[in-house]
Amino acid sequence: MPRKYSDINEIARRIIALSALYPTNRAFLDKCGITNHSLITDLKKRRIKNPGADILVKVVKGSGCSGSWLLTGHGNMFDKATTYIEEEVGVSYIMIKETSNLIDEFEKRIESDDCELTDDLQLKISKLMVKILERRMAKELQ
């Protein structure tokens, strides 16, 4: 029987959520200095139920997340002053993920309310997505 995401330890869930902000699990683990490259899979499959203090310290230092949030789930994932920026591209993966989530939320509301976005908002979102895609393409060409 497949295990449910709800069966995963709360701290492990938050680590998984953090890893989703990066292009790959490996990128997240490398940024955190974690050499167990199967950690995220191990957490998802509950092979590791309670990550140790050494992992938690590396996650906080590497990702810049709030230690309090990681341990308790209270407060913001990141302090206001903290933003992970990929230096080569100058684009925050967190900002991209938040933008993507925002667009998903707009789409859900449109579908549920049968309403339409104003043309101005559609244009702004479209321009933002074009910029994001252009930056991704530029990175791939390098």
User: Chain-centre distance of CA 107, in angstroms?
Assistant: 20
CA distance 77 to 96: 15
Residues 15, 64 share a domain: yes
Three-state secondary-structure class, residue 96: helix
Residues 9, 59 share a domain: yes
In the block, tokens 């920026």 appear at: 85
Residues 55, 21 share a domain: yes
Residues 67, 13 share a domain: yes
Q: Is residue 41 part of a domain?
A: yes
7-60 residue pLDDT tens: 788 999 999 999 988 888 999 999 999 999 999 999 999 999 899 999 999 999
**Domain count along the chain:** 2
Q: What is the pTM of this model?
A: 0.56
